[in-house]
Amino acid sequence: MSRPPTRLGVNIDHVATLRNARGGTHPDPLRAARMAIAAGADGITIHLREDRRHIRDEDVARIRAGIAVPLNLEMAATDEMLAIALAHLPHAACIVPERRAEVTTEGGLDAAAGMAGLRPIVAALTAGGVRVSLFIDPDPAQLHAAAALGAAVVELHTGAYAHARPGELERLRVAASLAERLGLECHAGHGLDFDNVGAVAAIPQIRELNIGHFLIGEAIFDGLVPVVARMRRIISAAS
Ligand code: PXP
C-alpha cells in the first residue's frame, strides 16, 4: 500500500553554531532554512537551548516569521521555554531532556518518571495550539507515558540505532507500531545520515524524520541544497 513519503525536518542549529563562533551574523540560519526548504525540506527544526549555544531568542522570531513551512521548536520542559514557545506559537514543540554540559541530546526524555512536571507544560502548549511532541527512547513505558500525558506526537531517539547497536532497529519498529496503537503520531531522529536513514524511513508508522548535524556537516563539502535534496530522495525512495 502506498503512503505519503516520510517528511523531512531539517535542523539548522549548527548553522548558528558556526555563526556564533565569530559572534557576527554570518552564516545566517534563516538563509539556510530557506535553502533547505527549496531543496525539499518539509519543515525546519531549531533547538533553543538554555545556554543559547546555537539558536538564540532573536533567531526564533526571525525564522518563525521567515518561513512558510512548519517550524518545530525543540525545548526543555522549563517555564522559561514554555513562555517563549507560547509567545511565538511554532507549529510544533518537541520537548527534549537538557543537561547543560552535554554535547548533544544524549538520551530520550524520561516521560514516565517526569509526568507531574510535564503535564502542565504539555497542556499549556496544546491549549495554545502547539502540537506537542516528546523526544523519547523507543521504550514501551515511555510511549505509554506520552499517551497518558496527551502528547500528539512522539519522536523516537535514533541515537542508539545510529551507533549500530544490535537490536535497535527492531526496537524502533516495535515502538513505532505501539505509537500507532496508542494514537500517537510517530517521528524519529538523531544521528541519521545517508547510510542509516533508509531503514528508519521504511518503518511505515514513522511519519517524520528530523536531521541536523550530518546535513550541515556534509553541506561543507557538497553544499546545502544538493545534500538536503539527496536526503529527500533517499527518504522518499525508502518510504
Ligand atoms: N531530534 C531531536 C529531538 C534532537 O534533539 C536532535 C539533535 O538536536 C535531532 C533530532 C537531530 O539529531 P542530529 O543533529 O544528530 O541529526
Per-residue pLDDT reduced to its tens digit, 154-210: 999 999 999 988 899 999 999 999 999 999 999 999 999 999 999 999 999 999 999
Is the pTM for the entire model greater than 0.85? yes
How far does residue 159's CA lie from ligand 1's centre (Å)?
9
Protein residue with its CA nearest to atom 3 in ligand 1: 135
Which residue type is seen at 105? T
Q: Does the structure show a pLDDT above 60 at 1?
A: no
104-118 burial: b if 16+ Cβ within 10 Å, else e: ebebbbbbbebeeeb
Q: Does the structure show a pLDDT above 90 at 42?
A: yes
How far does residue 190's CA lie from ligand 1's centre (Å)?
4
Residue 211 half-sphere exposure toward CB, CA atoms < 13 A: 35
Q: Between the CA of residue 213 and those of 25, 77, 131, 134, 220, what are the distances in Å?
A: 20, 23, 24, 20, 11
Residue 224 to residue 70: CA distance in whole angstroms: 19
How far does residue 120's CA lie from ligand 1's centre (Å)?
24
Residue 47 appears among annotated catalytic residues: yes
**Structure confidence at residue 18 as a pLDDT band (50, 70, 90):** very high
Per-residue pLDDT reduced to its tens digit, 26-37: 999 999 999 999
Pocket flag, ligand 1, residue 191 (CB < 6 Å): yes
**Structure confidence at residue 2 as a pLDDT band (50, 70, 90):** confident
Span 16-25, mean pLDDT? 97
CB atoms within 10 A of CB 230: 16
Residue 155 appears among annotated catalytic residues: no
Pocket flag, ligand 1, residue 135 (CB < 6 Å): yes
Domains and CATH numbers, the chain: 7-238 (3.20.20.70)
DSSP string across 141-204: HHHHHHHHHT-SEEEEE-HHHHTT-TTHHHHHHHHHHHHHHTT-EEEEESS--TTTHHHHHTST
Pocket flag, ligand 1, residue 190 (CB < 6 Å): yes
> At residue 68, what are phi and psi to the nearest 5 degrees?
-110, 5
Give me the percent of the chain exceeding a pLDDT of 90: 93
Helix (H, G, I), strand (E, B) or coil at 66: helix
Average pLDDT of the chain is 96
Protein residue with its CA nearest to atom 1 in ligand 1: 189
Residue 50 appears among annotated catalytic residues: no
Which of 46, 105, 200, 209 to mutate for ligand 1's pocket (most ligand atoms within 8 Å of CB)?
105
